[in-house]
Amino acid sequence: MKQVDAVAQSRFLRACRREPVDRTPIWLMRQAGRYMPEYRALRQKYSMLELIRTPELAAEVTLQPLEAFDLDAAILFSDILPILSPMGLQLSFAEGEGPQIANPVRTRQDVARLRAVPAVEGLSFVLRAIEILRPILDQRGIPLIGFSGAPFTLAAYAVEGRGTRDHLRVKGMMMADEASWRALMSLLADAVGDYLLAQVHAGAAAVQMFDSWAGVLAPDDYRDLVLPYSRRALEIVRRGAPDTPIIHFSTGTAGLLELFGALGADVIGVDWRIGLSDAWGRIGPSHALQGNLDPAVLLAPWEAVQPRVQRVLQEASGRPGHIFNLGHGILPGTPVENVRRLVEFVHGSRD
């Protein structure tokens, strides 16, 4: 019980609840990744998919950055897309090319063929990895973050079949075949909600829903055709786990922030393309904020990094509920030494 209390009272979870903290909590998206020699060593032996799908390995990778740095949260080593597999999509990760889907969803018939399955089915490796990690992290008082892609970002991959620049196919379905679009998004919303909730039940102390591509949309389209399904997914988590903080993440969404209040999340992640103080003004005071250093900054010499980190902290200072993070995943070329100094610097500056 004492360990669980330590997690519940951790800086990270307190900040999610907008309670006062002794120091600003920090974790980094993709904190387990190619910039770390320990990770690269494991990748010599295993593919990314093997790491993700083998619970013991996923747990090992998850813990790597916590051994190296004084981070305030762990995030399960996984991907935003695995939920698509049990729905019937043939997902693969081509080396150096990102995720690809062999049977993308293009028509009403394709949508009808998707399976509305309980998300846990076929994803037991994720839940098992969480079960392995939870007691280890409880002992250290470190909360574990579970996650998934958001319905729109999953739909973007499902329809496009891969990452694209213009997202013309997914926008095409959304605009030209609204019935198919809403059927697809409903399926995805329920699957994402169930999947996130299953991660909480397995031991995740918070969940993050990644809507990485939401920034390609006009506000009216986002509000009418996307937001209801993001909210639906998060409502499933809220109903099933009322006390578990929910983080919503997206990039390039400075023009959507006013709408995010309606998502039902506790924490809104924002990228560096807007000042944190400006963002907070738009989202409103009833949400915590996570972000928002440009990951590219960490490639520079520390003399150039430090003032930019300082600015992020200043933008958030004076109010509870700031979780320091990057605005997107840490870049592969990031010097480990910069990460160490970043964590120290953020912890060194009291709010």
| Catalytic positions | 30, 34, 43, 79, 157
Cis peptide upstream of residue 338 (ω within 30 degrees of 0): no
Q: Which stretch binds a copy of itself (CB under 8 A): 17-25, 72-80, 146-154, 162-170?
A: 162-170
Q: Three-state SS for 35?
A: coil
N-to-C CA span, the chain: 29
Q: Three-state SS for 75?
A: strand
Task: Report how far residue 349's alpha carbon sits from residue 307's, in angstroms, rounded to the nearest whole number.
Answer: 13
Q: Which of 278, 319, 340, 348 touches a copy of itself (CB under 8 A)?
A: 278
Nearest distance, CB of residue 263 and a copy of itself, angstroms: 18
**Residue 256 in contact with a copy of itself, rule: CB under 8 A:** yes
Q: Where are the alpha helices (DSSP H) in the chain?
A: 2-8, 11-16, 37-45, 48-53, 55-68, 108-113, 124-140, 151-160, 168-176, 178-202, 219-225, 227-240, 257-260, 276-283, 302-316, 336-348
Q: Which of 138, 190, 211, 294 touches a copy of itself (CB under 8 A)?
A: 294
Closer residue to a copy of itself (CB): 2 or 165: 165
CB atoms within 10 A of CB 237: 27
Task: Report how far residue 214's alpha carbon sits from residue 217's, in angstroms, rounded to the nearest whole number.
Answer: 6
Nearest distance, CB of residue 211 and a copy of itself, angstroms: 14
**Residue 252 in contact with a copy of itself, rule: CB under 8 A:** yes
Closer residue to a copy of itself (CB): 54 or 277: 277
Q: What residues between 62 and 101 interact with a copy of itself by CB under 8 A? A: none
Closest Cα to residue 102, out of 160, 149, 52? 160
Q: Which of 120, 136, 299, 336 touches a copy of itself (CB under 8 A)?
A: 299
Q: Which of 53, 182, 308, 341 touches a copy of itself (CB under 8 A)?
A: 308
**Residue 335 in contact with a copy of itself, rule: CB under 8 A:** no
Closer residue to a copy of itself (CB): 255 or 261: 255
